[in-house]
Structure 1
Amino acid sequence: MNLFNLTGKRALVTGGTHGLGMAMAEGLANAGAELIITGTTPSKMEDALNYYKEKGYKVSGYLFDVTNEIAAKEHLDIIAKEIGDIHILVNNAGIIKRELAITMPVEDFRRVIDVDLVGPFIMSQLIAKQMIERREGKIINICSMMSELGRNSVSAYAAAKGGLKMLTQNLATEWAKFNIQVNGIGPGYFATSQTAPIRVDGHPFNDFIVSRTPAARWGNPEDLAGAAVFLASKASDFVNGQVVYVDGGILATIGKPSNED
């Protein structure tokens, strides 16, 4: 369908070298977009580029830290000269440090805020300048259920993701007049290499997530592709400042008693 066709569009996905970022990038590429991937680890970048190219996608990769505004601007200038304008920005790069608030080092708290909130601001500000000139653009911030809920040991992450939700709404408010749509995706709990150790029958957290999720399963990374394509395409041209939660229904329910089917 033409509404979802991304042919001729360039999509920059930060942290698109692995995990959910890679799944969303692949969805965008399958819809026709040219990929530009950023990361900070050379080995992961090499593996990711090989994977994308084996799939037949048009892709380029650049190594820089999105929290460094000087490095980000330098690389985006290079991208503009070597490849062209960015039509779609997916602010996916992020980190989490699990530590109780009472014992968490302040430097760790600041680092999470820097990567998960300041980084998306820097990338959005830089790329929005060319989008404003072009009077067209899509920015997708990867939020979280922690944009809405609290949980033990993730105070910095939740603060950053809550802030990212509000940043999404404020950027949408400022830039909508330039035909720029700024929205978010809030993933639930997904089956990735990071969650593999706890996704086994009998593990307390696995049992909790499966029972807490109305869909009664973890999400598969490819479950995010549809939301990414929708928010990157013409289909969402009048959708702005929203967060689409792809969570199997967790945020829709208070849960159920343990003895209820």
Structure 2
Amino acid sequence: MNILPKLNIDSVDVFDACVSSIKDPGLRAKFVDSKNDILAEFRSYVGHAALENLSCLKSCEHGKDWQTIIKSLTKGHFKQLYTQCMVGPESNGRVYYDKILNSIPLSMCPLCDLTHVDSVDHFASKSRYPLFSVLVDNLVPACMKCNKSKGASVISKKNESLHPYFEHSILTSEPWLYAQLKGTALPVAKFFVDPPAHWSPQLKKRISNYFQDLELESRYAKRAASEIADLLSYSGDLSSRAKEFATIATVERAKKKNLWKAALYEALASQYSSTL
């Protein structure tokens, strides 16, 4: 998990660009008339996110695009504002979509660090929170697997996850992702989270939710299996390489405190340290 800097994109500019792409003049006028109310909700989102309290947001029912959101604007209208007027290749909002999509160095997914960014995820899903469908602070560059794994749940205190734009730097200052190995000839890695004891219960819960929501235990295990297979193909005996594994783990932890590879190589070093 990576903390992302706030994008240098004004949500007002994004909203205006998307609205200007609406072909129906009557619908476009409705959005213009509701602009101040919508921007007030945008500010409310940012305020709640900063306080780790997005569960306060009003959600929609699943489906039912006819649900009224603001004045005479419906859920379907807000969803179309995103799909047609921001994602649409000829839309005025597309330039902002592309900026978000391409905002990550090396294009590695900030949520899993496993694969490349190829989508934009709504932190608060547009099916439950359509009002924020084009809010920059709600749009996170991500791989498609992370995007789809999150689902479209209503945000609650129990299930709220880590928000890449609003987490405190403490999240990346100390390790909380670890792995254990089972077996020696062909070890299998099991990943788990164990945040520092002095961290708040709320942060610990969000870390746990993040890890479960994105199915990272199984995804990291699969990547680790491939990594271990490569190590074995180079040298069938891992027992003499504990010092090497420890060095790699130190280097990887220095790069990012909670990278899956750091956790794996720490586990490998621990597994084979008894042979030193």
User: What is the TM-score with the length of structure 1 in the denominator?
Assistant: 0.25
Q: Name the one with the larger strand percent.
A: 1
Structure showing greater radius of gyration is: 2
